[in-house]
Amino acid sequence: MSRVGNKPIPLPKGVKIVIGNPMLVEGPKGKLEVPLPDGIHAKQGDNVLEFSRDGDKQAPLHGLTRALAASAVQGVSTGFTRELDITGVGYRGDVKGKIATFTLGYSHPIEVLLPAGVELKIDKQTHLVLTGYDKQMVGQVAANIRALRPPDPYKNKGIRYTGEILRKKVGKTGAGGAGAK
């Protein structure tokens, strides 16, 4: 039996569910669609959403569908947050409307267009806070921003997730080599 798929999802106030294919989840932050595969059935009770399946062939999709629906319910009610830090001398970010501009040690500033549903706040030019109602979209935008300048293992410069632990590598030593005695 699927332990994840059988777990009921509590529905907060203000969240409306329209069961169909795809299932629509609507709340104060926005609207999301959750696909319902064949053989997976959703049932809405009193402030609870439950999923069931026809047989064991749908077992993998049972837990997946329930997890996607739980993320959609949390997203439209409270939203998701991802935080990043910029480390390095002269590295900084700025946001104007839907365009984020980063200075990351390259010869030019890098501009990133934020998709609809994702907001970016920058504190002290080096701490980024991404918020949105779609978990996948927030995570993808955070990964794209981090990929602009991934953390360097030698100097620890670059963009990293807040709380990300990096192993710093030791650089080359000055003396030694093939001909030194």
Residues 83, 23: Cα–Cα separation, whole Å: 30
Residue 180 has pLDDT above 80, yes or no: no
Domain 80-161 has CATH 3.40.50.300: no
Give the pLDDT of residue 175.
65
Q: Where are the alpha helices (DSSP H) in 14-171?
A: 59-77, 135-146
Give the pLDDT of residue 181.
53
What does the pLDDT look like over 103-134, one tens digit per residue? 988 899 999 999 988 999 988 888 999 999 99
Domains in the chain: boundaries: 9-77, 80-161
What does the pLDDT look like over 39-90, one tens digit per residue? 888 888 888 988 888 888 888 888 888 899 999 999 998 889 999 999 888 8
Give the pLDDT of residue 42.
87
Give the pLDDT of residue 138.
92
Least Cα distance to 12 among 66, 77, 81 occurs for 77
Give the pLDDT of residue 144.
92
Domains 9-77 and 80-161 share a fold: yes
Q: Is the dihedral of CA 54, 71, 68, 30 positive or negative?
A: positive
Give the pLDDT of residue 176.
57
Residue 28 has pLDDT above 70, yes or no: yes
The pTM of the full predicted model, rounded to 2 decimals, is: 0.81
Residue 147 has pLDDT above 80, yes or no: yes
Q: Comparing 98 with 1, which gets the higher pLDDT?
A: 98
Least Cα distance to 32 among 23, 44, 41 occurs for 23
Q: Are 52 and 67 in contact (CB under 8 A)?
A: no
The CA-CA-CA angle for residues 53, 58, 62, to 5°, reads 65
Tell me the mean pLDDT in the region 124-145.
Answer: 91
Phi-psi label, residue 94: left if phi above 0, alpha if psi -120 to 50, beta otherwise: beta
The CATH H-level superfamily of 9-77 is Ribosomal protein L6 (3.90.930.12)
Give the pLDDT of residue 38.
87
Give the pLDDT of residue 177.
56
* Mean pLDDT over the full length of the chain: 86
